[in-house]
Chains A and B, each alone.
Chain A
Amino acid sequence: MNPIGAEPYIVLSMVLFLMGALGVLMRRNAILLFMSVELMLNSANLALVAFAREWGQVNGHVFVFFVMTVAAAEVAVGLALIVNIFRERQSINIDDLQQMQG
């Protein structure tokens, strides 16, 4: 039914992952940083689903499920941290968070 193999999906997932990584490295807005992390997790999920289809194993889907759960937990905690930081210093620019710099 589906003539496309797993490879195009893997390539797409790599592209999305690298874009997410670039976002993490280049953006200074903490919220955007989190969104980039979400993008990376999503691209990993895409690769997992593609591999699951390729091998005919549902285990890949289960892993995606776990990744989503962990991502949800991570977002909740991360956003709570961001809110606290914003209350503290009225900014979510990660360059302003230098007090732990050695």
Chain B
Amino acid sequence: MEWLFLVVSFVAVLAAGMMLTRQNAVHSALFLIVNFGCVAFLYLMLDAPFLAMVQVTVYTGAIMVLFLFVIMLLGAETTTDTSGRMRWLGFVGTALAILLLIIFAFPLASNMLNDETTHQPDAQARIRVINAIPGGDAQTFTVMDMGRAMTLQETVRGNVLLDPVSETSDDTRLDGVIYEYGREAARDYIEVAAGDYTVIVGVAGRDFESAPIYSQSRALEPDSAHSILLFENAAGLVDVALLEDDISAPAVGKMRLTLFNAVTDKQVSLVDVGQYSARSTLCDDSACGSLIPHRALIEQLPAGEHISLELEAGSYNLALVDEDQNVLRTLAAYEAERGMIETRVLVREPGVPGSQSSYRAAVFNTIGAPAFGSPEAVGQVLFIEYVLPVMLVGMLLLVALIGVIVLARPDALAQAERRRVNRRRRVNRPLVSVISQQTGSNVLSGDYRAKLTGGADDPAGD
């Protein structure tokens, strides 16, 4: 990476230098295009792909073409060099610029070698509730935090609500909005101040502190994200797990898949079976002496545990298998999109008792924030936080447009003026008709012409 940066920056500086020293303006413009291209490349290296494309289209595409147009339109490739008198100023200026550069670059360079820049911590933690209980009767549970007086009321079966339940006086509601979800839904992350919390889950309407389903103290670190996952255990009771989520952007070209095993009596493995076939087992023969070719992605995930992995973007045929190599669930033609963060919870479908259990990998997508520097991220900031400046810049462009038209107009006006003057100078009637009126004879008639050429009769004497 370092060598790439060095090469690109060297080319950029070289192109800038060539641009400054060329006498021919067209050459300068072409070198400037090279420089802009290098800067676009550096934008790509700085995780700003959108700006890189804008740089190429706007700068190297539009602005430089405008420059080249004007240069060639004017035919002003070279100008008379009048800087000869002050040539020593150039050398002094260059020396001063290098001096300034050294003064500024030294602290930066020493910084580069010494310390890592410490970022301002974002003292916010994120938490959400995932309801992974298969549908059924509505039953209200409440997730409640006692430490910070945060209350979340969740209807586990059916809709998910956010409503304060506790009537305590110092109850600070985080959010008054009521969210409605179907079953197997995840709430968006909400931001809470980082700190120590006690997460208590209980049935709404009951006394939390005496009979909670779940109660655990957890320090929510800044920038961390947690999920309160509600699921059904083997006994059919609601169980709760508090997971720490990794919401950082996945590596480039990958997605992150988090699998939670909510089937309490099985250990599951996630395997990539390659070619899809509707098999119910990974065994190749009845005695399970050999397995069909597969690639294990997650091995033997115990119940109530979760694990994350990063998958290369692409299409997969995945299968969730238990410890006896029985396929619990296939995920055929699973599309792994780059940058996606997905949480899957393997749950047992509520079925007819006694029949074969079926399983489902309930999906809870969380694309936390769009990837840094992507068009989505830039667009969101641009059109939400900076709407007014966008409007003002649009106005500025309009003013510039009108200004250019006005600037280009005087010449056109002068031409119109000249045309008007020309029209006024033109005589209304042909000159010959004026003469014939004044002389009283038709100058265009043949006899007049004959007289002019030495004819006998004088029409004026008649």
Interface residues of A, Cβ cutoff 8 Å to B = 1-12, 14-16, 18-23, 25-29, 31-32, 34-36, 38-39, 42, 45-46, 49-50, 52-56, 58-59, 61-62, 64-66, 68-77, 79-84, 86-87, 91-93, 95
Question: Knowing A31-B70, A45-B39 touch, does A8 contact B5 (C-beta < 8 A)?
Answer: yes
Do residues A2 and B47 form an inter-chain contact, with CB atoms below 8 A? yes
A46 contacts across to B, CB distance below 8 A: 39, 42-43
Do residues A38 and B63 form an inter-chain contact, with CB atoms below 8 A? yes
Select from chain A the residue with minimum beta-carbon distance to B393.
Answer: A69
**Which B108-142 residues have a C-beta within 8 angstroms of A?**
108-109, 111-112, 117, 119-120
Asked if B62 is an interface residue, CB under 8 A from chain A, the answer is yes
Question: Knowing A3-B2, A39-B16 touch, does A65 contact B89 (C-beta < 8 A)?
Answer: no
Do residues B397 and A69 form an inter-chain contact, with CB atoms below 8 A? yes
Asked if B36 is an interface residue, CB under 8 A from chain A, the answer is yes
> Distance in Å from the Cβ of B337 to the closest Cβ of chain A?
18
Asked if B285 is an interface residue, CB under 8 A from chain A, the answer is no
B276 contacts across to A, CB distance below 8 A: none
20 further interface pairs, Cβ-Cβ under 8 Å (given A9-B46, A19-B20):
A8-B9, A12-B12, A19-B16, A19-B17, A22-B94, A26-B83, A31-B25, A39-B19, A49-B51, A53-B46, A53-B372, A61-B373, A66-B389, A66-B393, A68-B54, A80-B408, A83-B73, A93-B80, A95-B82, A95-B83
Size class of B's contact patch?
35 or more
Do residues A54 and B372 form an inter-chain contact, with CB atoms below 8 A? no
Select from chain A the residue with minimum beta-carbon distance to B29.
Answer: A35
B400 contacts across to A, CB distance below 8 A: 73-74, 76-77
Do residues B119 and A4 form an inter-chain contact, with CB atoms below 8 A? no
Do residues B404 and A77 form an inter-chain contact, with CB atoms below 8 A? yes
Do residues B13 and A19 form an inter-chain contact, with CB atoms below 8 A? yes
Q: In the complex, A5 Cα to B323 Cα: how many Å?
A: 47
Q: In the complex, A32 Cα to B20 Cα: how many Å?
A: 8
Q: In the complex, A66 Cα to B390 Cα: how many Å?
A: 8
> Distance in Å from the Cβ of A51 to the closest Cβ of chain B?
10
Select from chain A the residue with minimum beta-carbon distance to B85.
Answer: A95
Q: In the complex, A53 Cα to B32 Cα: how many Å?
A: 25
Question: Knowing A11-B105, A54-B117, A80-B404 touch, does A2 contact B1 (C-beta < 8 A)?
Answer: yes
Do residues B372 and A26 form an inter-chain contact, with CB atoms below 8 A? no
Q: List 27 A-B contacts (CB under 8 A).
A: A3-B2, A4-B5, A8-B5, A8-B9, A9-B46, A11-B108, A18-B97, A27-B20, A28-B83, A31-B71, A32-B19, A46-B43, A61-B48, A61-B378, A62-B386, A65-B378, A65-B382, A69-B397, A72-B62, A72-B397, A73-B400, A75-B66, A79-B66, A80-B403, A82-B70, A84-B408, A93-B79
